[in-house]
């Protein structure tokens, strides 16, 4: 029930009903509120609250502006750093590709050089083998000739020994001495 009474009082208590009588009277709430408002505004102006609020707002605006300027400067610096790093990355990538190409060309040149060296080594070994074969062949031919000569000499000695007499031998010796004597002088 009490709630109902409060509800009725709130709905019936209208501000228009409070302002009764002449306007320039202290019983008129509108006049009292107007005077209070003027007095409040006067106190605010006397204490220079609007200028203080203006200074605070200006200071806040300057702070925001300086923060924005700093943010712009940081952004520009970040963009220049990013561009610098991108340039460096591009340079490093180009350098890496040049190094890879250089390494590939050196590897192919080394492979070609190794093939040439292998061919030369094989040629040298083949020539050395041919020389060894020729030397062995010459040695074998010489040995066969020497053997043939020694066999022929032995056979000739035997044949001459059987057919020759002592007088024929002395005549041959004298003839050989004359031939040697003639060729030496």
pLDDT, tens digit, 9 for 90 and up, residues 81-137:
999 999 999 999 999 999 999 999 999 999 999 999 999 999 999 999 899 998 888
Answer yes or no: is pLDDT of 9 > 70. Answer: no
Residue 18's pLDDT band, with cuts at 50, 70 and 90, is low
Q: Which two tokens stand for residue 20?
A: 């009764």
Token pair recorded at residue 98: 């040049």
Of 151 and 4, which is predicted with more confidence? 151
Contact call for residues 23 and 33 (beta carbons, < 8 A): no
Residue 17 has pLDDT above 70, yes or no: no
Cβ atoms 29, 19 nearer than 8 A: yes
Beta strands in 37-184 (DSSP E): none
29: exposed, middle or buried (C-beta count within 10 Å: 0-12, 13-18, 19+)? middle
Q: What is the pLDDT of residues 167-183, one digit of tens each?
A: 777 887 888 888 888 88
Identify the pLDDT of residue 105. 93
What pLDDT is attached to residue 159? 77
Element (H, E) at 154: helix 49-163
Choice among 31-35, 36-40, 63-67 with the minimum mean pLDDT: 31-35
Contact 14, 5 (CB under 8 A): no
Higher per-residue pLDDT: 59 or 161: 59
CB contact set of 22 (below 8 Å; sequence gap of 6+): 28
**pLDDT band for position 13 (cuts 50, 70, 90):** very low
Highest mean pLDDT among 14-28, 98-112, 132-146: 98-112
pLDDT score of 184 more than 70? yes
pLDDT for res 152: 79
Rounded to the nearest integer, the mean pLDDT of the chain is: 85
Assign residue 107 a region (left: φ > 0; alpha: ψ between -120 and 50; beta: otherwise).
alpha
Q: How far is the C-alpha of 34 from the C-alpha of 40, rounded, in Å? A: 10
Check: pTM over 0.85? Answer yes or no: no
Question: What are the residue ranges spanned by the domains of the chain?
Answer: 48-184
Q: Return the percentage of the chain with pLDDT > 90, whole number.
A: 52
Residue-wise DSSP of 105-119: HHHHHHHHHHHHHHH
The pLDDT score that the predictor gives to residue 71 is 95
């Amino acid at each position: 029930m009490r709630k109902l009474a409060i509800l009725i009082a709130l709905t019936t208590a209208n501000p228009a009903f409070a302002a009764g009588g002449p306007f320039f009277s202290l019983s008129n709430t509108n006049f009292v509120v107007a005077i209070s408002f003027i007095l409040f505004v006067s106190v605010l102006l006397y204490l220079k609250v609007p200028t203080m609020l203006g200074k605070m707002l200006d200071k806040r605006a300057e702070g925001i502006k300086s923060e924005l300027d700093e943010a712009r400067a940081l952004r520009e610096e970040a963009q220049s750093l990013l561009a610098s790093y991108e340039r460096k990355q591009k340079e490093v990538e180009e350098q890496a590709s040049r190094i890879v190409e250089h390494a590939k060309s050196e590897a192919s040149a080394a492979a070609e050089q190794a093939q040439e060296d292998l061919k030369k080594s094989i040629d040298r070994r083949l020539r050395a083998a041919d020389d060894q074969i020729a030397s062995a062949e010459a040695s074998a031919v010489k040995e066969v000739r020497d053997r043939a000569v020694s066999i022929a000499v032995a056979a000739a000695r035997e044949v001459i020994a059987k057919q020759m007499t002592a007088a024929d031998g002395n005549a041959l010796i004298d003839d050989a001495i004359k031939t040697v004597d003639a060729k030496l002088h």
